[in-house]
Amino acid sequence: MNFAPKSCAYTKPSTGAWAPSHANSICIATRSRVLSAASVVVRAPQSAPNRSVSAFITETLSKYPSLRASRLHVMLQERGYTGSSSHFRHLLASLRPRREPEAYLRLRTLPGEQAQVDWAHFGHRRIGRAERPLMAFVMTLSYSRRIFLHFSLNARMDSFLGGHVLAFEAWGGVPRVILSDNLKSAVLERMGEAIRFNPQYLAFCAHYRFEPRPVALARGNEKGRVERSIRYIRDNFFAARVFADVDDLNTQAKIWCEAAASDRPWPEGAQLTVGAAFDNERQA
């Protein structure tokens, strides 16, 4: 008597005897292995032209690691490369060295120790026949995340210093350190850690007795709290905002800072609001 594996499929022919059908005579497990093997794609070895292109890309990137893909593509075309843009970018993605992610230390500050300041552009307003930029002076207390927001039609020195004064008055105090960008109102010249401050700003700092601290060049992340405040302002205050003029906008901004912006959860502990953390900061 003949036995077949239990996983094989059978059909019943018209003669009445059981026999394996031609289509199903191969057991299921065997068919699975055959089909799986057939689905494997065997790639041909890289052709000589592709090897030379890869070598050129690798050598060029070793000399110029940040070279843009568009420039590298043109350089290859000048050397006779005829591949499509999509093929080139796929090849480049496999050859460009991956940068190690940069590690950042989480900033923790004491109450009243630090504030961060920045300008933000919010489009233009027509004043008479002129288009004027709508600028937002934003200062954020690093400990409590309390926001001060004031709009003006320029980013000149008088508006910059005036924004500081208004923030100090609104908060009832002055932080010990204020982080800023290397904008001309604060920094006239910089080489590494050697900074030549704007004399007018330096005199202002001495009058209010706080330390000016411009962040390192190309290191906007060092004042990430005011940057996040600006994003929050764009999404939660300015979006779809209707106002008659800049004075009306500033009135609305003051109400928003004292209400909605202060009622949000404090990032350092959800049991407190930003407003409650600010009250603790003022008492420090």
From first to last of its 284 residues, what are the pLDDT tens digits of the chain? 333 344 444 344 444 444 444 445 555 555 555 555 555 554 544 455 567 888 898 989 888 888 888 888 989 898 888 888 888 888 888 888 776 655 555 678 999 999 999 999 999 999 888 999 999 999 999 999 999 999 999 999 999 999 999 999 999 999 999 999 999 999 999 998 899 999 999 999 999 999 999 998 766 567 899 999 999 999 999 999 999 999 999 999 999 999 999 999 999 987 999 999 999 999 87
Element (H, E) at 60: helix 48-63
Angle between helices 157-171 and 199-208 (to 10 degrees): 10
Q: What is the pTM of this model?
A: 0.67
Whether 104 is in a domain gets the answer no
Whether the Cβ atoms of residue 225 and residue 115 lie closer than 8 Å to each other: no
Whether 12 is in a domain gets the answer yes
Whether 108 is in a domain gets the answer no
Say if residue 132 is in the same domain as residue 197.
yes
Range of the domain at 18: 1-38
HSE, side-chain direction, 13 A CA sphere, residue 7: 7
pLDDT at 131: 94
Whether 21 is in a domain gets the answer yes
How many domains is the chain built from? Answer: 3
Q: How many CB atoms lie within 10 A of CB 134?
A: 18
Say if residue 128 is in the same domain as residue 180.
yes
Say if residue 139 is in the same domain as residue 2.
no
Say if residue 60 is in the same domain as residue 130.
no
pLDDT at 17: 41
pLDDT at 18: 40
Closest Cα to residue 114, out of 210, 232, 257? 210
Say if residue 5 is in the same domain as residue 61.
no
pLDDT at 220: 55
Say if residue 34 is in the same domain as residue 53.
no
Say if residue 174 is in the same domain as residue 275.
yes
pLDDT at 4: 38
Whether 107 is in a domain gets the answer no
Whether the Cβ atoms of residue 282 and residue 172 lie closer than 8 Å to each other: yes
Say if residue 220 is in the same domain as residue 273.
yes
Closest Cα to residue 144, out of 180, 164, 172, 122? 172
